[in-house]
């Protein structure tokens, strides 16, 4: 469902990574590597938010380069900061995502929001939310529509113990028929999600 080949990213003369390649079907995959290795940049490329200097990404056989609309319609992206627009409310964000995916904010999404403890916060603007609350809004949006791939940057950061348990259950459920690709330093969380742990070395990275 998720595949990338020969990915390369440079900033000025610095090569962040090059030659990255990987393919993942259903299940959870956790990217664990040292700080500054380029994990957030790679996830941004996979989500179509950052342009690679070389290489290609496919989401369920749709090329992020030649068919970006089709590819992005099948993925959910949870960035590290989760701040789409400071004046937007949580409910407005969920409704916009649902509209983009040609669906509605259904009972499944509202139930997940309630399990995350979000119900009292849905009418708040993002600028009024804590870091963890913003992240939970984005994670809730991952169940909207026909998503095939979920990409998440440090998804457990900012979450308390009850929300962490909900996230583990969510990732295990999503991974039954989808690809969940996330970065995390938290080995216990990764193992609880039954995720395969990989590093840049296993992606064929070279500089």
Instruction: Supply the DSSP string of 25-59, one letter for each residue.
Output: -SEEEEE---TTSSHHHHHHHHTTSS--SEEEEEE
Instruction: Show me where the domains of the chain are located.
Output: 2-85+148-203
Rounded to two decimals, the pTM is: 0.93
Strand 62-63 and strand 54-59: the pairing is: antiparallel
129 vs 179: CA distance, rounded Å: 28
172 three-class SS: helix
72 three-class SS: helix
CATH number for the segment(s) 2-85+148-203? 3.40.50.300
pLDDT in tens, the chain (207 residues): 999 999 999 988 889 999 999 999 999 999 987 666 789 999 999 999 999 999 999 999 899 999 999 999 999 999 998 888 888 999 999 999 999 999 999 999 999 999 999 999 999 999 999 999 999 999 999 999 999 999 999 999 999 999 999 999 999 999 999 999 999 989 999 999 999 999 888 887 543
């Amino acid at each position: 469902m998720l595949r990338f080949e020969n990915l390369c990213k440079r900033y000025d003369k610095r090569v962040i990574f090059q030659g990255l390649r990987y393919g993942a079907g259903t299940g959870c995959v956790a990217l664990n590597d040292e700080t500054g290795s380029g994990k957030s940049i790679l996830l941004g490329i996979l989500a179509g938010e950052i342009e690679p200097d070389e290489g290609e990404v496919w989401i369920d056989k749709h090329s992020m380069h030649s068919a970006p609309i089709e590819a992005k319609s099948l993925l959910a992206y949870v960035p590290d900061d989760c701040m789409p627009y400071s004046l937007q409310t949580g409910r407005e964000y969920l409704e916009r995502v649902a509209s983009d995916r040609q669906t509605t904010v259904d009972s499944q999404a509202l139930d997940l929001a309630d399990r995350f403890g979000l119900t009292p916060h849905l009418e708040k603007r993002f600028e009024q939310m804590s870091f963890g609350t913003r992240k939970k809004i984005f994670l809730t949006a991952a169940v909207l529509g026909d998503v095939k791939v979920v990409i998440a940057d440090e998804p457990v950061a900012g979450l308390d113990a009850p929300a962490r348990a909900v996230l583990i259950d969510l990732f295990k459920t999503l991974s039954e028929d989808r690809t969940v690709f996330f970065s995390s330093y938290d080995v216990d969380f990764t193992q609880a999600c039954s995720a395969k742990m990989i590093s840049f070395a296993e992606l064929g990275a070279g500089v």
